[in-house]
Amino acid sequence: MSLTDDALVIFTPSGKRGRVTRGTTVLAAARKLGVDLDSVCGGRGICSKCQVSPGYGTFSKHGVTVQADALTEWNEVEARYDRIRGLKEGRRLGCQACIQGDVVIDVPAESQVHRQVIRKSASDRVMVMDPATRRFYVEVREPDMHEPTGDFQRLAEALENQWQVKGLVAEPHVLHKLQTVLRKGEWKVTVAVFHDHLGPPRIVDLWPGFHDAPLFGLAIDLGSTTIAGHLASLTDGRVLASSGLMNPQIRFGEDLMSRVSYAMMNPGGDQEMTRAVRQGLNTLATALAEEAGIDPAEIVEAVFVCNPVMHHLLLGIDPVELGQAPFALATSESLGLAARDLDLNAVNPGARAYVLPLIAGHVGADAAAVALSEEPYKSEDLALIVDVGTNAEILLGNSDRVLACSSPTGPAFEGAQISSGQRAAPGAIERVEIDPETKEPRFKVIGCDLWSTDPGFAEAIAATGVTGICGSGIIEAVAEMRMAGLLDPSGLIGSAEQTGTWRCQPEGRTHAYLIHDATAEDGPRITVTQGDIRAIQLAKSALYAGARLLMDEMGVDRVERVVLAGAFGAHISPKHAMVLGMIPDCPLDKVTSAGNAAGTGARIALCSVAARRAIETEVRRIHKVETAIEPRFQEHFVAANAIPHATDPFPELGRIAPLPAVSFNTGGSGEAGGGRRRRRG
Amino acid sequence: MSLTDDALVIFTPSGKRGRVTRGTTVLAAARKLGVDLDSVCGGRGICSKCQVSPGYGTFSKHGVTVQADALTEWNEVEARYDRIRGLKEGRRLGCQACIQGDVVIDVPAESQVHRQVIRKSASDRVMVMDPATRRFYVEVREPDMHEPTGDFQRLAEALENQWQVKGLVAEPHVLHKLQTVLRKGEWKVTVAVFHDHLGPPRIVDLWPGFHDAPLFGLAIDLGSTTIAGHLASLTDGRVLASSGLMNPQIRFGEDLMSRVSYAMMNPGGDQEMTRAVRQGLNTLATALAEEAGIDPAEIVEAVFVCNPVMHHLLLGIDPVELGQAPFALATSESLGLAARDLDLNAVNPGARAYVLPLIAGHVGADAAAVALSEEPYKSEDLALIVDVGTNAEILLGNSDRVLACSSPTGPAFEGAQISSGQRAAPGAIERVEIDPETKEPRFKVIGCDLWSTDPGFAEAIAATGVTGICGSGIIEAVAEMRMAGLLDPSGLIGSAEQTGTWRCQPEGRTHAYLIHDATAEDGPRITVTQGDIRAIQLAKSALYAGARLLMDEMGVDRVERVVLAGAFGAHISPKHAMVLGMIPDCPLDKVTSAGNAAGTGARIALCSVAARRAIETEVRRIHKVETAIEPRFQEHFVAANAIPHATDPFPELGRIAPLPAVSFNTGGSGEAGGGRRRRRG
């Protein structure tokens, strides 16, 4: 121990060090040295958030020896806390232990405000907590008749003096309950303060005394078809509940453009749709709170990601301008709002909402969220990130430059507009294999682990039966048909004679391939028709053309890795996607799935103001490419219609067997190409 | 003319001068030199707000000679404007006329943003316009698919580039209509921007093209009994309509304390009252717009002044804390809100509301408004300002120091709790004289200019009859009774025998003075009873005691002038008020009426952000004295119960005749003093 009046204190893992006067509490020392040590009660020994682990002995790395009496002894507050709630072995309360000599103090992750949390997703990236809403315990001056300031002003003064929260804004919802809570808590209250980068600090809610209950937020991915939400803790980002519901706007139109049309054709139609989606959000919030077993009033924030049309309808803006060139957004930047401004009344009345920025008229906040999750702007490799929905959002880039576009794939990848198509649900065929020799299929359905050729399959699926084929199923089916030589490169299905299998049966002027026939048991007859092939060809051509357009713009003819995002992306087989030509060729092991990257991005933004700032900056830097007016998009689209030939431009891929160079006598089909394509506007 | 490349330009009346490059427009020169020259269109020759009057010839005061060609010639824009709308003789459009040589340019008042407007009130003070909401004409960049920023972002950029409006906040109500308006105006729009000292600039509303319609605001004095409102132009402060309605909260209690009780006794009672007053405000706003002949959507601001209880109920805050010591306000500082936060939906959906700061738990924003109107903090004389209502707000001070208190006068001064009392309305006695010799009364009633003794009086008042006696009437009656020797200094009414008039008639154990008897025509019998005298004594004692308390605190025993504010103050006779002892003695010619000073203060705040800042600063400096806990208040109150004696401490007043030193045999009355006094809490 040094003989001087101050002591050396070294905090790990930050490595921050400095000298403090002996007698300083560990918490005060941490604050002085800018060490991230949490505290809600401000050092009053109530909250236990400031737990630290002092180290003793010699730390040669730090050049210091810590004596056993480097900290004051365990005091009464710590003893009481340990008795009532339990203090982990070796832990001290930072606000109670005072520094008496040189010391090394470890701040465990759970005692850091800006803690790093390992996400559960496949990638091992960490999420740094930097929540906009934090709780502060304060002691407020009592009112004095001779100095008649308002209760709010004295609370604001306490937050400024005790927590350096400056410029607090008084809002009606707080003023309503302020006086009751202050008196109930005998002038000691816990205040949840929301403070992001967009505005002044605001009180979200307050409670009498020390209030330790955690705060929660919603991360909502508002899709055209589905509204998916996560309920996460704002303390550590943990997801307590995830749920989804059908977007109630479905009744106004299946896809975005039909909703824009609905708004165009029906006066007040946009407002009808706004009401519908907002009702849906309240339903979802209630369901999530119930699933998590929390009071909905503990939800104090909501973050929204969505495509531009959903964005406008959420905000009550008529989306009509998004239906026609130049696809002008009403507003493109991020928005901070009161949740009640969005009629989100199922949550805390003071809850705040944050909407991520939009990238362009067709590239939404959902794409921004994918970017936030996948961070192409930090990638060393040139990454192609594809989020497939009714529209595909495509990002291409690396740390030098990121490009974005949207491509109108239509709903075929989601099983819609497919003769036996259905949404991904139990009973739907999701995997397909066709034996190249026998041309016989086998398949798996959702909800059952067996292949259709396995013993016991019929019994295992008795509950649902085989009901149809979903998006990933139809992609595998088409790719397998091509690999088995049932399709020619133009996508034409051969006859039984041409293909050598009875399963290729005539249907009108073309043929269909029979996958499953349950008509004997009054079940469905599931085929892949020529029309299905065309629908998939149109969708994959649009996706591929979008990716190619970005590659042209970037001046490259290959990408180094591909990330498939979205629920669909998680289920799709990279091999089949590549056989089909959905995505540019790339080593198969460089094709990864990011899961629901838009939802992950929403969660990241929910947990971190720094992340909100970051994506706002990055979105401004992303270069947008508008597919709708780009002649090369049409060229790529037409060129991409075929299903790739055996002469693979990247033979090193290896794992994909060369495709057969079959050729059927088509009898002339005018169906291929872009002629039938539904264009926007 | 100078031979150099620049020219001297001198603006009057500001006297600002400087050199500008020849060819500079007058508007650009004014901006460069910081001269207040209005413009809505930004120099596009559309708005004509920048009209100036150039002077020619020799200006020895400025040491400059202005040649006839100092400005460029009248151009086509000016000619067209003159043809269509007319340009006053000698006027030029500042954005069209370019400076070619040394010139003196006068900016007429109507071309100044911060113009000074003479108010119509008796005092000649000027009101300086500094409105929070201003209109700006902007040309917005059209959307570009290749640079997909939102319409809002391009509008914000235009406001920043063309008008230096920075940090504009996007609000839903603007986003809803933004796209339609921008397209209708072909990317030229007029935007009303609200920007005060409390927050960032916000768009209130916007219109296609150049929109010249004026903007209006409401100045609302929200009283316990009456809600009074002015509708004023935000361009020049002119009042277009004034109206009032009964506060619909009356049904929950006549006075403030009974409303606080209602809130205490009835769960949700405060919310009932909040709804009631907000409905009343919408009714008033609609009525004012109708009276002024304007569209209610042209009302873009509302300023509120009110006592603390009304303040809390307006904001939806339970006023229960104001009913008991220490009378803690939920919030004391000024508030900037959206009008819709107060459910004020009859006005523009983007309208803003400003609520003046409160001085203390019993001294409200109405008192702050009186201070803003009467400016005691700028007074050289020591001024006593009294705003009489159910509570009297009292300000005492000068430029050194201002004190404030509130005194619970009760409703007697408003004619309530008086046996023949009524509100000031046609038929009410408002003036009374009693002949000191004959003891016979004469009176005037509201709605008739004749005295009751004048010929034709009976016919003139036939429509209403004499219905009762209002506040100013009862004060004059009591003072006149004292001057005629019908009352002794303790306030006791003498008998017919003691006073020598049959009009003093027995009533129970005391006497009453008959003023008017219409019972023969089934009309009322109007008397002043001993109970009435006591009620007036209690009220005036409270008022006087409050004033004395402030004088004690200030360390003075006289004031240099008295200002009577409020509707009541406008009708009261200073002489009678002083005889009664309502106000401290003071030369009669130093007693003035300020009319509805609270309403005037609200109007000043409505027209000027600088005034809002000023009153916020002053309110913080005002020293509050709480009467409810001050023992000296009780002492003064008891001492003030008597009606002053002949030995006038200020004989120079002269005009008040010495009061008779009558003394009646009281038979012992315990009524005088403060015993019966209703105390708060």
- Find chain A residues with C-beta within 8 A of B148's C-beta: 326-329, 332, 359-361, 624, 626
| E-strand stretches of A284-359 | 299-306, 335-338, 352-355
Alpha-carbon span A501 to A480, nearest angstrom: 14
pLDDT of residue B554: 96
DSSP-based three-state secondary structure for B259 = helix
Answer whether residue B120 shows pLDDT above 70: no
Q: Are B568 and B596 within 8 A, CB to CB?
A: no
pLDDT of residue A675: 36
Prediction pTM value: 0.84
Task: Tell me the shortest Cα–Cα distance from A627 to chain B, in angstroms.
Answer: 10
Chain B residue closest in CA terms to A183: B321
Alpha-carbon span A498 to A494, nearest angstrom: 5
The bridge status of strand B64-66 relative to strand B17-21 is unpaired
- What is the rounded average pLDDT of the residues B272-301? 96
Answer whether residue B671 shows pLDDT above 50: no
Answer whether residue B372 shows pLDDT above 70: yes
Q: Are B194 and B173 within 8 A, CB to CB?
A: no
Q: Give B79's Cβ-side CA count (13 Å radius).
A: 4
Higher pLDDT among residues B626 and B558, named by residue:
B558
Please count the residues of chain B. 681
Would you state the structure tokens that stand for residue B29, as one six-digit string? 């020169």
Contacts of B611 (CB under 8 A, 6+ apart): B128, B130, B372, B604, B605
Alpha-carbon span B47 to B41, nearest angstrom: 6
Q: Burial, B342: exposed, middle or buried (Cβ in 10 Å; 0-12, 13-18, 19+)?
A: buried
Task: Tell me the shortest Cα–Cα distance from A667 to chain B, in angstroms.
Answer: 42
- Find chain A residues with C-beta within 8 A of B316's C-beta: 172, 175-176
Residue of B172, B320, B332 with shortest CB distance to A315 = B172
- A230 phi-psi bin (left φ>0, alpha ψ -120 to 50, beta other): beta
Quick check: B153 and A361 CB within 8 A? no
Q: Among residues of chain B, what percentage have pLDDT more than 90?
A: 64
Question: Of the segments A341-350, A584-593, A656-665, which one has the largest average pLDDT value?
Answer: A341-350
Quick check: B341 and A172 CB within 8 A? yes
Quick check: A325 and B145 CB within 8 A? yes
Answer whether residue A167 shows pLDDT above 60: yes
Quick check: B148 and A180 CB within 8 A? no
pLDDT of residue A677: 38
- Residues B485-535: tens digit of each pLDDT: 999 888 999 999 999 999 999 999 999 999 999 998 888 999 999 999 999
Alpha-carbon span B314 to B301, nearest angstrom: 16
Residue of A153, A178, A361 with shortest CB distance to B332 = A153
- Find chain B residues with C-beta within 8 A of A318's C-beta: 176, 179-180
Nearest to A397 by CA among A185, A244, A624, A173: A624
Residue of A172, A331, A361 with shortest CB distance to B152 = A331
Quick check: B151 and A179 CB within 8 A? no
Cis peptide before B489 (omega within 30 of 0): no
pLDDT of residue B117: 63
Place of tokens 């007074």: B379
Residue of A150, A316, A359 with shortest CB distance to B332 = A150
Alpha-carbon span A463 to A478, nearest angstrom: 27
pLDDT of residue B62: 83
Answer whether residue B445 shows pLDDT above 80: yes
- Residues A493-517: tens digit of each pLDDT: 999 999 999 999 999 999 999 999 9
Max Cα distance, chain B (Å): 102
Answer whether residue A670 shows pLDDT above 50: no
- Residues A384-407: tens digit of each pLDDT: 999 987 788 999 999 999 999 988
Q: Are A222 and A277 within 8 A, CB to CB?
A: yes
- Residues B191-202: tens digit of each pLDDT: 999 999 999 999
- Find chain A residues with C-beta within 8 A of B333's C-beta: 150, 152-153, 170
DSSP state of A3: S
Give the distance, in angstroms, between the CA of residue B623 and the centroid of all CA atoms in the same chain: 21
pLDDT of residue B644: 67
Place of tokens 């009577």: B564
pLDDT of residue A5: 83
pLDDT of residue B658: 55
DSSP-based three-state secondary structure for B314 = helix
Q: Are A488 and A663 within 8 A, CB to CB?
A: yes
The bridge status of strand B299-306 relative to strand B352-355 is parallel
3-state helix, strand, coil in chain B (%, to 5): 35, 25, 45
Which one of B140, B179, B358, B680 makes the best mutation probe of the A interface by having the most chain A beta carbons within 10 Å?
B179
Residue of B145, B175, B363 with shortest CB distance to A317 = B175
- Find chain A residues with C-beta within 8 A of B626's C-beta: 145-146, 148
Give, for B281, the enclosing helix (H) or strand (E): helix B269-292
Please count the residues of chain A. 681
Higher pLDDT among residues A3 and A458, named by residue:
A458
Which one of A154, A168, A175, A358 makes the best mutation probe of the B interface by having the most chain B beta carbons within 10 Å?
A175
Task: Tell me the shortest Cα–Cα distance from A388 to chain B, in angstroms.
Answer: 22
Quick check: A331 and B151 CB within 8 A? yes
Q: Which range has the worst mean pLDDT, A131-135, A265-269, A594-598?
A: A594-598
Answer whether residue B570 shows pLDDT above 90: no
pLDDT of residue B3: 55
- Find chain B residues with C-beta within 8 A of A142's C-beta: 326
Which one of A141, A145, A621 makes the best mutation probe of the B interface by having the most chain B beta carbons within 10 Å?
A145
pLDDT of residue A649: 36
Quick check: A360 and B148 CB within 8 A? yes
Which residues are registered as beta bridge partners of A9?
A18, A103
- What is the rounded average pLDDT of the residues A132-158? 94
Task: Tell me the shortest Cα–Cα distance from B246 to chain A, in angstroms.
Answer: 25
Task: Tell me the shortest Cα–Cα distance from B544 to chain A, in angstroms.
Answer: 21
Quick check: A148 and B318 CB within 8 A? no
Task: Tell me the shortest Cα–Cα distance from A318 to chain B, in angstroms.
Answer: 7
Residue of A147, A172, A332 with shortest CB distance to B315 = A172
- Find chain A residues with C-beta within 8 A of B176's C-beta: 316-318
- Residues A178-205: tens digit of each pLDDT: 999 999 999 999 999 999 999 999 999 9
Alpha-carbon span B586 to B573, nearest angstrom: 14
Give the distance, in angstroms, between the CA of residue B380 and the centroid of all CA atoms in the same chain: 22
- Find chain B residues with C-beta within 8 A of A341's C-beta: 172
- Residues B38-91: tens digit of each pLDDT: 888 888 888 888 999 999 988 888 888 998 889 999 999 999 888 888 889 889
Higher pLDDT among residues B158 and B647, named by residue:
B158
Residue of B170, B315, B317 with shortest CB distance to A331 = B170
Q: At what angle do helices B597-607 and B365-374 cross, to 10 degrees?
A: 80
Quick check: B332 and A146 CB within 8 A? no
Give the distance, in angstroms, between the CA of residue B558 and the centroid of all CA atoms in the same chain: 27
Would you state the structure tokens that stand for residue A232, as one six-digit string? 């996460």
Chain A residue closest in CA terms to B316: A176
Residue of B175, B335, B360 with shortest CB distance to A148 = B360
Answer whether residue A642 shows pLDDT above 60: yes
pLDDT of residue B661: 67
Task: Tell me the shortest Cα–Cα distance from B380 to chain A, in angstroms.
Answer: 26
DSSP-based three-state secondary structure for A169 = strand
Q: Are B327 and A145 within 8 A, CB to CB?
A: yes
Q: Burial, A513: exposed, middle or buried (Cβ in 10 Å; 0-12, 13-18, 19+)?
A: buried
**Which residue type, as a one-letter code, is found at position A279?**
Q
Chain B residue closest in CA terms to A156: B331
Q: Is the torsion defined by CA of B268, B269, B272, B274 positive or negative?
A: negative
Quick check: B150 and A175 CB within 8 A? no
Nearest to B677 by CA among B170, B116, B257: B257
Answer whether residue A359 shows pLDDT above 80: yes
pLDDT of residue B161: 95
- Residues B291-335: tens digit of each pLDDT: 999 999 999 999 999 999 999 999 999 999 998 889 999 999 999
- What is the rounded average pLDDT of the residues A76-80? 91
Q: Are A662 and A488 within 8 A, CB to CB?
A: yes
Q: Burial, A209: exposed, middle or buried (Cβ in 10 Å; 0-12, 13-18, 19+)?
A: middle
- Find chain B residues with C-beta within 8 A of A317's C-beta: 175-176, 178-179
Q: What is the mean pLDDT of chain A?
A: 89
Quick one: how many helices (H) and strands (E) in chain B? 17, 30
Task: Tell me the shortest Cα–Cα distance from B654 to chain A, in angstroms.
Answer: 40
End-to-end CA distance of chain A: 77
Interface of A to B at Cβ within 8 Å reads 142-153, 170, 172, 175-176, 178-180, 315-318, 320-321, 325-333, 335, 337, 341, 358-361, 624, 626, 628-629
Place of tokens 């790339």: A586
Binned at pLDDT 50, 70 and 90, residue A301 comes out as: very high
Nearest to A98 by CA among A26, A11, A1, A37: A26
Quick check: A361 and B179 CB within 8 A? no
Answer whether residue B118 shows pLDDT above 80: no
Answer whether residue B405 shows pLDDT above 50: yes
- What is the rounded average pLDDT of the residues A308-332? 94
Binned at pLDDT 50, 70 and 90, residue A661 comes out as: low
Task: Tell me the shortest Cα–Cα distance from A336 to chain B, in angstroms.
Answer: 9
DSSP state of B413: G
Alpha-carbon span A9 to B241, nearest angstrom: 71
Q: Is the torsion defined by CA of A227, A231, A234, A236 positive or negative?
A: negative
Contacts of A231 (CB under 8 A, 6+ apart): A216, A217, A218, A239, A240, A241, A242, A288, A289, A291, A292, A294, A299
User: CB contacts < 8 Å between A and B, how many?
Assistant: 145
- Residues A412-438: tens digit of each pLDDT: 887 788 999 988 888 999 999 999 999
- What is the rounded average pLDDT of the residues B646-652? 39
Q: Are A251 and A257 within 8 A, CB to CB?
A: no
Give the distance, in angstroms, between the CA of residue B53 and the centroid of all CA atoms in the same chain: 35
